[in-house]
Structure 1
Amino acid sequence: MIGKRPVLDGRYELGEPLGTGGMAVVRRARDLRLGREVAVKLLHPEVAMDPEAMAAFRAEAMSAARLNHPGVVAVHDVGEAVVDGAPRPYLVMEMIEGQPLSHLLVDGTPLTVERALEIGVDVTSALAHAHERGLVHRDVTPHNLMVLRDGSVKVTDFGIARAMPTLVVDDAEEEWTEELAEAGSGFGSVAYLSPEQARRGFVDARSDLYSVGCLLMTVLTGYPPFRGSPRDVVRHHLRTLPPTPSSRRPGLEPAIDGIVARALQKDPWQRPQSAAEMRRDLLQVLGDIDAPAAWAAGAHGLATAVAPHEPQRMSEIVDLATQPVDLVTGAVPDSEDETDGAAGSPGPGDGRGEGAAVGPAAGAAGAAAGA
């Protein structure tokens, strides 16, 4: 006889695990109050015992719950419950059907140029929405990007990113920490780490854009800018001029090289100063290659939304002005309604839904566990 399923906090009936990462386990669950399927991310006991990590997790989780964008995995609830005699914080997220982008890049085969640019537009659209609300992701990697069946991309782990171990390397003394080594092997984040994160410097929205530059290099060429041991990769992020995408994949448009090179500048002031700015640059190049996808991105926020049969010219694309978080003061817009085109009404391809179920590729949820 099958035992009775445990119920978390008297509300969430827990099902089978969907994935496990360095910080949490994600389990299929049913919200007994609303009668819908959800995914519950339950932090590991050792993480829950770290007061600093817990304080950061709670603050970021509450911020993540405010995000409402077709390119962000929705957080429905945040709480803490006693599990096996110990307090365990948890997140309740929407169930989605898809797989991590990392599953599509395992053999080093790049994506088509159009698809790579679409992903870049989708990710920067979601980041623009988050940055406007003062939330920096800090771990934009293929593991934390979910590709849905309709091709749209959702960013995961906004609620846990800040709680991850701080990655540190002393640029002067070449000090190497165990935390960095662990992160390199466990979280898979070192390849997408910004120089200021490695130095434990001030991190803002532009750090996420450096990671997007690394991501673009990966989807365009099959590999991130720098490869090697975690220690060597971090040193490269700090000191080495990255290759251009066209040096690995001849024939790419110079404009693509320019976008990636600017995002990968060591100095944050030399990068795009907002995700919306980077998104506009990507949209311009995408429009030259695939006008319908660019039109859909400008109108609905996601490049993978369904486009009309008669695309408009790039000059007619809807791209409302944004008001990014102040990079010096950290100030955010006063109104929650101030959003860019990325936060507009979801297009037909947004893939959102309260009861959307995770399909066979539910290992994707493992990425959301902080892997």
Structure 2
Amino acid sequence: MTAYQDTSGRLLAERYRLVSELGRGGMGTVWRAVDEILGRPVAVKELRFAAGMDEDERRRLIARTLTEAKAIARVRHTAAITVYDVVEEDDRPWIVMELVESRSLSEVIATDGVLPPKRAAEIGLELLAVLSQAHRSGILHRDVKPSNVLIGHDGRVVLTDFGIARVEGDPSVTSTGMLVGAPSYISPERARGRIPGAPSDLWSLGATLYAMVEGRPPYDKGSALSTLTAVMTEELTPPANGGPLVPVIAGLLRKDPQERFDENTARHLLLQVLNQDDSSPQPAQPPAPSAAQQAAGPSARPPFGAAPATAADGPAYPGGARPRDPFPAPGPAPRPRSQSATAAMPMPGTGFEPLPTTESVTVLGTRSGRRAARLLVALLVLLVVAGGGVWVAMAQQDKPNTPLPGYERVAMPGGATIEIPQGWTLTRLSAEHWRYRGPSGYLDVAWTGTPGSSAVAALRTEESRTAASYPHYHRVDLQKVGYRGWDAADWEWTYTGGDGSALRSLDRGFATDGHHGYTIDWTSAAAGWGGARNHELMNAFFSSFQPAT
């Protein structure tokens, strides 16, 4: 067929029906499609060959496409596209991915204007999290820029186009000496032809943050050569609209990669911006380096697992880390604001780390003392063993604000608070959806100002929408429960994680009044679900929750 023949309506691999074109680049087209076996929408990336392209160039583009698929598959994070399948037809690969209804960040900036520093920090944290996950997996993205960032209509942030990523240990693509990527977002060391590392992606993140608040990249001289020269030689002009983001942007755009902020420092500063009181004008400050970091030098990186939680930490909601209405009114999902889209919604079981079945904890007093402390603040009302599983319904505690030993009270969306074990880490997936992570599992909390009229009906609707996306989904229970006199329901289910492990989730949805609806969703290894530690955690979550007042 010709290079740009319309292929809408085509059926790939007797399964994927191409519907309409979503976007086109120099080497391919992204299609909206339907998986006719599972009945779900997908995105399909088609590799196209220009007329007259020689065989060597064709092989190189095929290798690049396969490298992209491998890179995406290795980055298990909700801010990265999930690859469902790779189909070979017409002697070339077609990548089948999740579909995200979205606009690119560059389109958002061009249409809506520059972003306030806090929103830029939120997006920056998600990009930093997926880049950290990629770097730990031996992958450099090498093309971080606003046009490769999707902002979903549900608020999800997605980093796309791993097409020029370098995958450690993958010999399928060799270096040709060609500098690929957008000149305005290429780091100085790459512009000089040096071998890049993780700091190179962090430079691109800094340039993307700069563009979010200024509407343009930090260096743009109109031509590739002059722009690259400026990247290598010119001093940075601080962003006029950066506010508290200026220190982190300046630190990420340091020309020497050895002096550039590392992932931990950037994360710390972005969190400071996010948590900063709007009335406080004081700029964020980087954390003091530890003795180990000082000894290791400025390029030291944290070990795997030492970084704060990311959105890859686990799918507490159906559809992965998608910010879900925690207590939706039954009925069809709202239509997106626009029809622009490019691949994505995460497939549960593919976007998180495997969960351990045991946990190493610091002993705080005797076991009986800890148990007695729990009894001071919570009453176990019902313990039901059904189908090999356990679910717990908690009554209102006598002293909800009494701290639990070894726990700390933390914020939840919508002005609520909850007690979690000390040292757990937080990722804000959206303004209404936060995630706390600990060694035993993942706690997602979400809020809505427009709860529906029935918690159990809302959870049944959510199950019907999303259960099919869970590998080996099995409902344990879904029923109305007694919870402090509020309209509440529990949805409990099991499924198989991406690594083959059995996982179990309990999602409690409830409304405290007509303007505050919440979900508390706990996911952990199924093997340890009936253990004392899991019971303790769920008791603590449900008994210590306090709604906004």
State the TM-score, normalized to the length of structure 2. Answer: 0.48
Unaligned residue ranges in structure 1 (runs of 5+): 169-178, 291-326
Instruction: Tell me which of 51, 66, 88 is aligned to 1:58.
Output: 66
Residue of structure 2 aligned with 1:145, choices 145, 149, 154: 149
Q: Which residue of 2 aligns with 1:281?
A: 269
- Aligned pairs for 1:37-116 within 5 A: 37-46=41-50, 49-82=57-90, 87-106=91-110, 109-116=113-120
Give me the whole-angstrom Cα distance separating, in 2, the residues matched to 1:226 and 1:366.
Answer: 29
Report matched runs for 1:179-198 at 5 Å. 189-198=182-191
In 1, distance between residues paired with 2:193 and 2:323? 36
CA distance in 2, matches of 1:358, 1:223: 31
1:129 and 2:117 aligned: no
- Give the letter for the 1:12 counterpart: Y
1:237 to 213, 227, 231: 231
How far apart, CA to CA, are the structure 2 residues paired with 1:261 and 1:72? 26
1:206 aligns with 2:174: no
Amino acid at match of 1:280: H
* Equivalent of 1:249 in 235, 241, 254: 241
Aligned CA distance change for structure 1 residues 360 and 93 (closer, same or farther; 3 Å)? farther
Task: Work out whether 1:260 is the aligned partner of 2:260.
Answer: no
Distance 1:199 1:81, change over 3 A: farther
- 1:335-346 superposed matches below 5 A: 340-342=308-310, 343-346=312-315
Identify which of 255, 261, 268 aligns with 1:272. Answer: 261
* Counterpart in the other structure of 1:309: none
Bigger shift: residues 123-132 or 3-12:
3-12
Q: Looking at both structures, which has the greater relative contact order when contacts are Cα pairs under 8 Å and sequence separation is at least 6?
A: 1
Shift of 1:360: 6.7
Structure 1 residue 22: Cα displacement: 2.0
Contact 1:212 1:263 in 2 (8 A): yes
Which residue identity lines up with residue 273 of structure 2 in the other structure? Answer: V
- Cα deviations by residue, 1:217-262 (Å, 9 ceiling, x for unpaired): 11122221012212221111111111112xx238x23xx3221111
Residues 112 and 344 of structure 1: CA distance in aligned 2, closer, same or farther (over 3 Å): same
| Conserved 8 A contact 2:211-2:217 | yes
The answer to whether the 8 A contact 2:155-2:323 is kept is no
Give CA-to-partner distance per residue, 1:39-76, whole Å, 9 cap, x none.
Answer: 00011124884323432432342231132222112111
Q: 1:115 to 1:106 in 2, by over 3 A?
A: same
User: Amino acid of the residue matched to residue 68 of structure 1?
Assistant: R
For the structure 1 residues 232 and 93, does the alpha-carbon distance in structure 2 shift closer, same or farther, using more than 3 Å as the test?
A: same
User: Is the partner of 2:74 in helix, strand or coil?
Assistant: coil
TM-score (norm 1): 0.70
CA distance in structure 2 between the aligned counterparts of 1:198 and 1:358, rounded to whole angstroms: 43
Asked if the contact 1:129–1:339 (Cα under 8 Å) also holds between the matched residues in 2, the reply is no
Asked whether 1:351 is paired with 2:359, we answer no
- Bigger mean CA deviation after superposition, 23-32 or 51-60: 51-60
* Number of the residue aligned with 1:35: 39
Given that 2:64 and 2:163 are in contact with CA atoms closer than 8 Å, whether structure 1 keeps it comes out as no
Letter of the 1:345 partner, please give it. G
Name the amino acid aligned to 1:141. Answer: K
Q: Against the structure 1 CA distance between its residues 360 and 202, is the aligned structure 2 distance closer, same or farther, given a 3 Å change threshold?
A: same
Deviation per residue, 1:323-355 (Å, 9 max, x gap): xxxx99x9x96xxx89851022346693289xx
Map Cα deviations across residues 127-162 of structure 1 (whole Å, 9 max, x no partner).
111111111111111111111122221111225545
Alpha-carbon displacement from aligned partner over 1:192-220 (angstroms, at most 9, x marks no partner): 11122223321222111000110111112
Whichever structure has more strand as a proportion of its residues is 2
Structure 1's 28 and 51: CA in aligned 2 closer, same or farther, altered over 3 A?
A: same
- Looking at structure 2, the residues matched to 79 and 63 of structure 1 have their Cα atoms a distance apart, in angstroms, of 16
Using the alignment, how far apart are the partners of 2:8 and 2:64 within structure 1? 34
Kindly state the Cα deviation for residue 283 of structure 1 after the two structures are TM-superposed.
0.9
Higher alpha-carbon deviation: 49-58 or 115-124: 49-58
Structural mapping, 1:285-324, within 5 Å: 285-289=273-277
* Structure 1 contact 116–216 (Cα < 8 Å) conserved: yes
Q: 1:107 to 1:18 in 2, by over 3 A?
A: closer
* Contact 2:214–2:241 under 8 Å retained in 1: yes
Contact 1:102-1:143 at 8 Å conserved across structures: yes
Q: Percent identity?
A: 34
User: 1:108 deviation in Å?
Assistant: 9.0
Distance 1:44 1:78 in 2: 15
